[in-house]
Structure 1
Amino acid sequence: MSLGAPAAVTATGDGPRLIVGITGASGAAYGVRLLSRARALGLRTHLVVTPAGVLNVHHECGLDRAALEALADQAHAPGDVGACIASGSFDSAAMVVAPCSMKTLAAVAHGFGDNLLTRAADVMLKERRRLVLMVRETPFNLAHLRNMTAVTEMGGVIFPPLPAFYHRPATIDEMVDETVERVLALCGIEAATPQRWTGLRPGAGR
C-alpha cells in the first residue's frame, strides 16, 4: 500500500477492519460519528479509548463507556497490549485517532507504545498502513509542531478537524459529518461521500 494513496476499500456487510482510537482531547463527536458512519458503511470497527477519552465522550456527548463501546464491533481496553490490534499480522485498512490529544501525538511521534492505542498506531506506521491523527489543540507550541512533523515523516497523516465552509453547513452536526466523510475518503473507503469542490463559476463575485 502506498503511503501517498491508500488502496481503495469497498465497504460490504463483511467489510474491512477500521481501528478507531479516542483520546481525551476535545472533539469526541468526531470519534462517535466515525463509529456510527463506519457501521452504516459495513466496516468492522475495533475501538480503543483512553480513560480521559471516556470522560470526555461522557462530558461532550452524554455517552457512558457501555454506550460508546456498543457503537463498535469490538472494544479493547487500553491496557490490553496483547489484543489483536497490537500486532502487524492483524489486517486492517486504516486507523483513525479521533480526536487525538497532544499526549497521544507525542507518544506516537516518539514510538512510545505504552498502551494499546499508541501500540496500534505504531503498528500502522511500521506496516506502512494509513494512520490518521485528528489532532485537537490550539494554538500549537513548538513541541506539537515538531511531533506532527515527525509523524508525517513516518508516513502518518495529521488531520486537524478544521471545518470547510464552501458547502455552507448550517449546523455543527453538518460540519462534523463532512469532516468524518473526508477522513473516511482519506482512508480509502470508496463509499465515503465528502462534498467535492467543483470550482467557482467564471465571473462569480463580480
Structure 2
Amino acid sequence: MRFILGVTGASGAIYATRTAMHLKRLGHHVTALVTPPGRGVVAYEGQDELFDYVDEAPDVKNFFAECASGSADYAGMVVVPCSMGTIGRIAGGTSDNLLIRAADVCLKERRPLIVVPRETPYNLIHLDNMTRLTRQGGIVIPASPHFYDHPKSIEELVDTVVAKILMHLGAMRDAADIVKPWKGISIPKATKQKTPSVKHLAKVRAKKK
C-alpha cells in the first residue's frame, strides 16, 4: 500500500523516522511531505536517516504532485510530528501547501488521516482544533508513549506510539510486530483481592527483568 507521511516543524522528528522505517519494513510505499521548518527540525534533531526510508519527497509548494488529487491511490496519511498550527490549518481546510491539501484530500475521500501532536500543555485553541478535526473524521494520536512494556531505549519508547499509528492507518494488523501488547496481570487464586497487590506487581516486574 501507499501512504503519505507529513512532517512539520514540531519537535520529535524521531517519530517520523521510526514511522517511515516501519512502513518500509512492512513493504509499503512512503511519500514524504516535509515542510521547510520540518526539514530544519529533522536536521537539528539528527534524524536525516528519515529520508533513507521514503520513496519520494515532493516539494510542499508543488500542488501538481500526485498526492494533491483524490484520484491518486493512497491508503492514508499521518502527520508526525504535527504542529498545532498545522492541525488548525487542516481543521480549517486552508490547503495552503501540499501537506495541508493532501490531508484535506484524505478527509474528503474518507481515508485514514492521523495527526500526532507533541505539544504540551494544550490551550483551548488547540483543543478546539483537535475536536474539529476529530469531528471531520481525523484521528488524533498524541505522542504519548506507554511504559508498561518497560522500554529499554528511546527507540523502543517511540515505537509504542508508532505501533498505534500503523494500526490505525491499516498498515499492519498486529501491534505485536513492533511492541508487546498488554496481556493483563493475573491475580493469585489464593487471595480474595479484586486487583493485584503492590507486592504481587513487584514480583511480576522482577520476573520480567
TM-score of the superposed pair, with normalisation by structure 2: 0.86
Contact 1:41 1:191 in 2 (8 A): no
Quote the sequence identity (%): 44
1:122-137 alignment, distance < 5 Å: 122-137=104-119
Give the aligned residue type for 1:17: R
Equivalent residue for 1:76? 58
| Residue 44 of structure 2 is aligned to residue 59 of structure 1 | yes
Counterpart of 2:173 (choices 162, 177, 190) is: 190
Residue 132 of structure 1 aligns to a residue in which SS? strand
Contact 1:163 1:175 in 2 (8 A): yes
Report deviation, 1:62: 4.7
Contact 1:135 1:161 in 2 (8 A): yes
1:17-166 alignment, distance < 5 Å: 17-63=2-48, 68-166=50-148
Contact 1:17 1:93 in 2 (8 A): yes
| Residue 197 of structure 2 is aligned to residue 205 of structure 1 | yes
TM-score of the superposed pair, with normalisation by structure 1: 0.87
Contact 2:14 2:47 in 1 (8 A): no
| Cα distance in 1, alignment partners of residues 89 and 31 from structure 2 | 20
Give the aligned residue type for 1:26: S
| Cα distance in 2, alignment partners of residues 61 and 30 from structure 1 | 12
| Cα distance in 1, alignment partners of residues 52 and 186 from structure 2 | 46
Bigger Rg, structure 1 or 2: 2
Give the aligned residue type for 1:124: C
Give the aligned residue type for 1:44: H
Residue 201 of structure 1 aligns to a residue in which SS? coil
Report deviation, 1:191: 5.7
- Higher RCO structure (Cα 8 Å, ≥6 apart): 1
Residue 45 of structure 1 aligns to a residue in which SS? strand
Task: Decide which structure has greater helix share.
Answer: 2
| Residue 153 of structure 2 is aligned to residue 171 of structure 1 | yes
What are the Cα deviations for residues 112-170 of structure 1, in whole angstroms up to 9, with x where unaligned? 10000000000000000100000121111110000000000000000111010111112
Equivalent residue for 1:13? none
Equivalent residue for 1:4? none
| Cα distance in 2, alignment partners of residues 83 and 145 from structure 1 | 31
Residue 134 of structure 1 aligns to a residue in which SS? strand
Give the aligned residue type for 1:24: G
| Cα distance in 1, alignment partners of residues 52 and 163 from structure 2 | 21
In structure 1, the gaps of 5 or more residues are 1-15
Contact 1:106 1:147 in 2 (8 A): yes
Residue 45 of structure 2 aligns to a residue in which SS? helix
Q: State the Cα RMSD in Å.
A: 1.4
Q: How many residues align?
A: 188
Contact 2:66 2:72 in 1 (8 A): yes
Question: Relative to structure 1, is the Cα distance of residues 62 and 135 closer, same or farther in structure 2, using a 3 angstrom cutoff?
Answer: closer
